[in-house]
Amino acid sequence: MSIRQASLAHSQITRFFGQSATITADVVTDPAKTLAGSYSFIARALTVENSSIHYSLRVPIRVISTKESVTSMLPGQRFSVQGRIVLSKEARVAALVLIGEDVKVITKASRWARSLGSIRYGLRSLSGDGDAGALIPGMVLGDTSKQSASFKASMKRSGLTHLVAVSGANFALVSAFALWLMQFLFSKMKYRLSATAISLIAFIALVRPSPSVLRAAAMAAVLLVAQGTKRGRDSLPALGFAMAAVVIADPWQARDAGFALSVLATAGLLLFAPVLVEKLSAHMPDRLAQAFAPPVAAIVFCSPIIVALSGYLAPMSVVANLLAAPLVAPITILGFIAALTSPFAPLISSVLIWFIRIPAGAIAVIAEWASGFPVLTLRTGRIGFAIVATFTLLLWLCKKWMKKLIAITFVVIISITWLQRWPGQDWQIANCDIGQGDSMVINLGNHQGLVIDVGPDPVAEDACLKALGIVEIPLMILSHFHADHVAGLPGAIAHRKVGQLWLSPNAEPAIEALMVHSALPAVEVVTALRGMSAQLGALRIKVLWPTLNATSFAEMPGEGSQINNSSIATIISSNDFSIFTGGDLEPAVQQLLIRDLTPVDIYKVCHHGSKYQDLEFMAALHPRLSIISVGAGNTYGHPAVQTVDALARLGSEVVRTDIDGAIAVQARNHRLRVRRAKARFNIIRWG
């Protein structure tokens, strides 16, 4: 791996970083649409040249295009295009190539590639709309192009992510089906296994031989050999051989968490599932024990790494997997047959898909239902890894009475943390933990909320509003159109009604502004201007900024000051609290607002607590509580130490989402009580 990484780092293509050049390359993976709306795929660069330099090479590159026409290209096709070459953070590629024009296709796809492409496209087009239609291509062929961000989030939180992409389970089902068919053609097991292996290779070609597919095939081959030869004692050496083969073929798998999860899940099925079946059979019917054991075994073995990656465990994932397990086989097998027949017998495929849309829809419902339950979150992934690994080891090694004591202690901890879960029953103001961005919610009662900005991530925004129980938004205020304040809009409006939308008069950046207007075409839009006021239930809202006429200010270091200084600034007050929110306002506007300010209970700190703050402005607000919405480990240096120190000198309590997680404030007669999702004394929490 070191040799390969060194070769990529010293490739001739690095001489073109930061420049535009003409590239000739072969397509390696199918172009797929990203959440940002662009199209991404891996290619193998063969030549790169500009006006003065020409190099022949053979290195992998990541290509990102804004043109939908690239989706018509198939693996193996050669193309030429001019693009900008930049350094990529993706370790397995030598460069990132950004293109904004149509590519010139040099060679046609092979007949084999066209045949496989027609099968994939046929299943995708016939599977229909909705989550069920998006699930079928993913479960059968690993085609996730139709899956929405919210659906992916539901599958992940419910522990069903492994179903929406080709995994070892898919290969095991297809292989088992092929092995069953082979018994009608061959009497000897070795011939059946050989024919099944050929089928497995063809299936790999169909779903594309990506690293994840190859490792899934290797893990499935282990299960197939163990089952077909009736030699379960040899399964562990076979697993070791498969691990070695995958890492030798693709060294990058050694640092891929997905590979570790595949190995551990397979090990759980081989080693722990039979033990569980034996133990559970004494207390429940055999069929139920056999259905319950595999997901539990896989989750137990994978849980330390899952916690290290995501920071949480979803107990309901066991139930979700148990409910979904009987539905997987018919979708995979019938979907596979439907895919194969789609190019020449679409009617047969349509009938088969009509049948499997029922179980696919059921899995989508299970995922949505299970994702609504709280998860057990550990303060950090590393601490979570240590806790889960230690707990598992103790249960494995300790005596029977100690196992009972450990289990009881764990249940008590879970129960206590359940009672302390965020946001609590009685909250008035909440600031979502949505990464590097802003999103605040004020409780209006009856599951209604005033939402101020929606952050950069639709999934995180939707999850926060679900946790707060918000199903209706009578008023949404988007302070300005920077992506970290508006890109999460699809998640905020998912299954929620919006009454009125307040926007800044500065409709820049244009792409984000267009997205906002397109997402809410039927909602009343109000341009918020200085001097406006409104009453919303018990809330009084006064707009302090911006003005209708564009005001020119000196640019602060970086980009976007003019847009930042057109942010909507409001003072929102009730009988219980007062709060100032001002988007990303910078010192130039802050100085203009000083004469309009009076002390407030809560200050939603402008621009994520950057160092560009006016000290007199903060002194005029004199907040008792300052909330900084900021992403952990951000590259902007937010929040600045001097800003935090200045607020502390004013006597303000400072809370920040990168350290404290989501913030909920209970306010009664201007008395504030803060609940942090990541309470400093809580290593384990529900949410």
Tell me: do 394 and 480 sit in the same domain: no
Asked, for residue 179, whether it belongs to a domain, the answer is no
Q: Which is nearest to 442 in space by CA: 465, 462, 419?
A: 465
How many H-runs (helices) and E-runs (strands) does the chain carry? 24, 25
Assess contact for 98 and 118: CB atoms under 8 A: no
Q: Cis link prior to 509 (omega < 30° from 0)?
A: yes
Tell me: do 526 and 598 sit in the same domain: yes
Q: Which of 109, 135, 167 is the last residue of a domain?
A: 109
pLDDT value, residue 641: 92
Assess contact for 436 and 420: CB atoms under 8 A: no
CATH of the domain at 623: 3.60.15.10
Asked, for residue 173, whether it belongs to a domain, the answer is no
Tell me: do 662 and 610 sit in the same domain: yes
State mean pLDDT over 515-523. 86
Q: Which is nearest to 606 in space by CA: 573, 576, 646, 661?
A: 646
Asked, for residue 532, whether it belongs to a domain, the answer is yes
Amino acid 21 reads: A
For the chain, the farthest-separated pair of C-alpha atoms sits apart, in whole angstroms, at 91
Contacts of 478 (CB under 8 A, 6+ apart): 453, 454, 485, 486, 489, 501, 502, 503, 504, 516, 568
State mean pLDDT over 153-165. 74
pLDDT value, residue 616: 94
The residue among 90 and 381 whose pLDDT is bigger is: 90
Q: Please give the tally of structural domains in the chain.
A: 3
CATH of the domain at 34: 2.40.50.140
Q: Which of 91, 109, 127 is the last residue of a domain?
A: 109
State mean pLDDT over 649-657. 93
Confidence label for 232 from pLDDT (cuts 50, 70 and 90): low
Asked, for residue 593, whether it belongs to a domain, the answer is yes
CA distance 655 to 627: 5
Confidence label for 560 from pLDDT (cuts 50, 70 and 90): low
Q: What is the dihedral of CA 168, 173, 179, 183, to 10 degrees?
A: 170
Assess contact for 591 and 614: CB atoms under 8 A: yes
Tell me: do 392 and 446 sit in the same domain: no
Asked, for residue 255, whether it belongs to a domain, the answer is no
By mean pLDDT, which of 146-155, 167-176, 435-444, 491-500 is the weakest? Answer: 167-176
Is residue 634 scored above 80 in pLDDT? yes
Domain range spanning residue 55?
Answer: 2-109
The DSSP symbol for 165 reads S
Phi-psi region of 558 (alpha: psi -120 to 50; beta: other; left: phi over 0): left
State mean pLDDT over 316-335. 80
Asked, for residue 461, whether it belongs to a domain, the answer is yes
Tell me: do 399 and 450 sit in the same domain: no
The residue among 9 and 600 whose pLDDT is bigger is: 600
The residue among 432 and 258 whose pLDDT is bigger is: 432
Range list of H helices, 167-234: 168-182, 189-207, 211-228
The residue among 492 and 177 whose pLDDT is bigger is: 492
CA distance 371 to 484: 25
Q: Which is nearest to 270 in space by CA: 336, 323, 326, 219?
A: 219
CA distance 408 to 627: 38
pLDDT value, residue 272: 83
Is residue 83 scored above 60 in pLDDT? yes
Residue with tokens 């030549």: 47
111-126 and 130-141 are packed helices; what angle lies between their axes, rounded to 10 degrees? Answer: 150
By mean pLDDT, which of 399-413, 508-522, 670-684 is the weakest? Answer: 399-413
Confidence label for 559 from pLDDT (cuts 50, 70 and 90): very low
pLDDT digits over 433-445, tens only? 988 999 999 999 8
Contacts of 410 (CB under 8 A, 6+ apart): 391
DSSP 547-607: -SS----PPPSSS-HHHHTT--EEEEE-SS-EEEE-TT--HHHHHHHGGG----SEEE-GG
Tell me: do 7 and 94 sit in the same domain: yes
Tell me: do 447 and 572 sit in the same domain: yes
CA distance 123 to 637: 47
pLDDT value, residue 642: 93
Q: Which is nearest to 48 in space by CA: 73, 19, 70, 68?
A: 19
pLDDT exceeding 90 applies to what percent of the chain? Answer: 29
Tell me: do 520 and 659 sit in the same domain: yes
State mean pLDDT over 33-43. 76
Assess contact for 332 and 174: CB atoms under 8 A: yes
Q: Which is nearest to 546 in space by CA: 614, 580, 510, 592?
A: 592
Secondary element (H or E) of residue 349: helix 346-371
Assess contact for 246 and 215: CB atoms under 8 A: yes
Tell me: do 411 and 516 sit in the same domain: no
Asked, for residue 544, whether it belongs to a domain, the answer is yes
Q: Which of 89, 109, 129 is the last residue of a domain?
A: 109
Asked, for residue 86, whether it belongs to a domain, the answer is yes
Secondary element (H or E) of residue 519: helix 510-519
**Sign of the alpha-carbon torsion through 633, 635, 637, 639:** negative
Amino acid 448 reads: Q
Tell me: do 436 and 535 sit in the same domain: yes
- How are beta strands 684-686 and 497-503 bridged, if at all? unpaired
Tell me: do 492 and 511 sit in the same domain: yes
By mean pLDDT, which of 135-139, 142-146, 283-287, 587-591 is the weakest? Answer: 142-146
Residue with tokens 């050669």: 78
The alpha-carbon radius of gyration of the chain (Å, integer) is 28
Confidence label for 240 from pLDDT (cuts 50, 70 and 90): confident
The DSSP symbol for 531 reads T
Tell me: do 502 and 584 sit in the same domain: yes
pLDDT value, residue 286: 79
By mean pLDDT, which of 15-24, 175-184, 647-656 is the weakest? Answer: 175-184
Assess contact for 332 and 141: CB atoms under 8 A: no
